């Protein structure tokens, strides 16, 4: 006999795993679009430290000269991304799941302790319910970023009809840059997310698929 605890509601698992391929394709089609005016870089224009992206990158992955294809995918998948995201937010609000997700007063201090623990500087992690403080901040940030992508996206998709949004973003060119930076943010989030999931192990990962986590006998003792 084993004791299992129901951790992730079915709806959240659906939203999460729909979002994964949709966002992956949004980023891919976004690069196809970005190629046509591939101007962003880090560092001074005459001697950049890093260019988004070197021509070799586009050539190697055959993602050059595909602007129309990129736009067509982007403007189809944007609906799935938006609808899935809105349903997730609605579910999170009305199911009360937001209680595990939103950072609270303690989270910002605790997030440091979590980080120190993860970096093996501190031996004990702060106590947590479902998500630790660092996760709460990261997951809430990624939801806000999703909204940001929709708004900056609208600002460059319909800059006349949604001119207020474009103006709030600081103009058309600024909105395009913000839309790009948010995407870089997803990629960074994704890497950290994956590393954390791998580090935490199978029992935690499989819960995002099955919904439940098996409680180890030792953990069961401490929670009683």
The closest of 73, 79, 88, 76 to 13, measured between CA atoms, is 88
Measured from the CB atom, the residue of 89 and 210 that comes closer to other proteins is 210
Indicate the residue whose CB is closest to ligand HEM.
Answer: 208
Binding pattern for the stretch 123-152 against other proteins, x by CB under 8 A and - elsewhere: --x--xxxxx--x-----------------
| Angstrom distance (rounded) from CA 135 to CA 215 | 21
Size of the site for ligand HEM (CB under 6 A): 17
| Angstrom distance (rounded) from CA 208 to CA 19 | 13
Asked if 34 is part of the footprint of other proteins (rule: CB under 8 A), the reply reads yes
Asked if 73 is part of the footprint of other proteins (rule: CB under 8 A), the reply reads yes
| Angstrom distance (rounded) from CA 70 to CA 75 | 9
Side-chain half-sphere exposure of 197, counting CA atoms within 13 A:
11
CA 69 to chain centre: 24
Interacting span for ligand HEM (CB under 6 A) from 17-25, 108-116, 151-159, 216-224:
17-25
Asked if 104 is part of the footprint of other proteins (rule: CB under 8 A), the reply reads no
The closest of 22, 42, 35, 53 to 150, measured between CA atoms, is 22
| Angstrom distance (rounded) from CA 12 to CA 89 | 10
Footprint of ligand HEM on this chain (CB under 6 A)? Answer: 12, 16, 19-20, 23, 101, 139, 142, 186, 189-190, 193, 197, 204-205, 207-208
By the criterion CB under 8 A, which residues form the site for other proteins? Answer: 1-7, 17, 21, 25, 33-34, 36-37, 39, 67-69, 71-73, 75-76, 79, 125, 128-132, 135, 158-161, 163, 171-173, 176, 196-197, 199-200, 204, 206, 209-216, 219, 223-224
């Amino acid at each position: 006999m084993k004791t299992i605890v129901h951790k992730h509601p079915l709806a959240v698992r659906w939203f999460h795993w729909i979002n994964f391929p949709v966002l992956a394709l949004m980023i891919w089609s976004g690069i196809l679009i970005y190629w046509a005016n591939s101007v962003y870089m880090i560092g001074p224009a005459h001697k950049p430290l890093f260019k988004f992206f070197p021509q070799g990158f586009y050539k190697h992955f055959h993602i050059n000269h595909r602007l129309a294809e990129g736009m067509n995918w982007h403007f189809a998948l944007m609906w799935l991304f938006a609808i899935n995201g809105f349903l997730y937010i609605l579910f999170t609000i009305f199911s009360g799941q937001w209680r595990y997700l939103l950072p609270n007063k303690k989270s910002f201090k605790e997030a440091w302790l979590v980080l120190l623990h993860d970096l093996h500087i501190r031996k004990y992690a702060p106590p947590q319910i479902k998500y630790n403080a660092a996760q709460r901040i990261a997951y809430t940030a990624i939801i806000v970023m999703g909204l940001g992508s929709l708004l900056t996206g609208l600002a460059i998709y319909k800059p006349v009809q949604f001119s207020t949004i474009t103006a709030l973003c600081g103009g058309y060119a600024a909105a395009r840059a913000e839309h790009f930076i948010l995407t870089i943010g997803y990629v960074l989030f994704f890497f950290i997310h994956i590393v954390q999931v791998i580090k935490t192990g199978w029992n935690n990962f499989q819960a995002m698929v099955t919904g439940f986590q098996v409680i180890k006998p030792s953990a069961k003792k401490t929670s009683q």
